[in-house]
Amino acid sequence: MKLNLTFISLSRRKKYCLASVYSVFLILLLVYLYIYEFIYVISEGDIISNLVPIDYSHLGNACPLSRIEVTNSLSSCSVSNKDSAYRVTKSDIVGGEWQPKHCTSRFLVAIIVPYRAREENLHKFMSFMHPFIQKQNIHYKMYVIEQSKHKEFNRGKLFNIGFLEALKEKSFPCFIFHDVDLLPENPNNIYACTRTPRHLSAAIDKFEYRTPYYRNFGGALSILVDQFRQVNGFSNEFYGWGGEDDNFYNRLRHALIRPVRFDYSISRYCALPHEQEKPNENRHYLLKVSSNYVLEGLNSTKYTVIQRSDDPLFEKILVDL
């Protein structure tokens, strides 16, 4: 009888220990998912407090930060380039660079746009984006990184090149990597950096203004210069459409950097029509094997600058990969 009671007692202890282990495991899993797996959503009221301005304590007449009233109910893609509300004043922009005259901007941003053979999209993008960002009183410069025709399009590598070339000109603290076919719809989608990387284009019209999957980090994003270096930029291995943005999200996870999004009502975009790039048939395989972020990425980016040219609305850098 005593042996049976001892056996029952040990069994209960064993079950209790197993239950405790399972509970601890479940708690750790939930903590992991919360911290590193889920993208944090910033509400409209918390946008300003999450932005990272430059040190403006020594500057006079800093530009105010305030909510911008939404006056245009049309989609960005529906607004004509001739609409006076979105007309570009080229005389105020020098080689793609602009800063407010009536106050000192709290933000300095380089906007990197990869490009090849989408002239209509580029014209619409520039016509819309300059006045959109100027309403936010941001000091910025537009870089268009054009790839030559010798190889398949490599979006990630063009972003790396734009990053390296922009820093040769100015010490930008904040970078925005932006597709040429996306236009923001809410002026309170501030084109500056938050404390951690931000997925700007979380809600696109072709996906019914929802992100297609929670790890999605493509389209347009902002990131501080040191964080981009920390994850070693984008991979250079993804030629053709797809994969490089998912790889970049994995780089953030690997570095334990939790990205953010603004609320869907703020991060709304419309997609301009264009011919689809040829899909990368090896993208799923590359996502599985491209894990050595220390050795491959920004620090292994090789390219040749063929030509630099200044348009009033942007600086174009033609490169050969």
247: phi then psi, degrees, rounded to nearest 5: -65, -40
* pLDDT score of 88 more than 90: no
pLDDT of residue 69: 72
Query: Is the predicted pLDDT of residue 159 greater than 60, yes or no?
Result: yes
Per-residue model confidence (pLDDT) at position 84 = 43
Stretch 259-275: mean pLDDT, rounded? 89
Where residue 310 falls among pLDDT bands split at 50, 70, 90?
confident
224 or 102, which is more confident: 224
When pLDDT is averaged across residues 196-217 and rounded to a whole number, the result is: 86
Task: Report pLDDT for 65.
Answer: 80
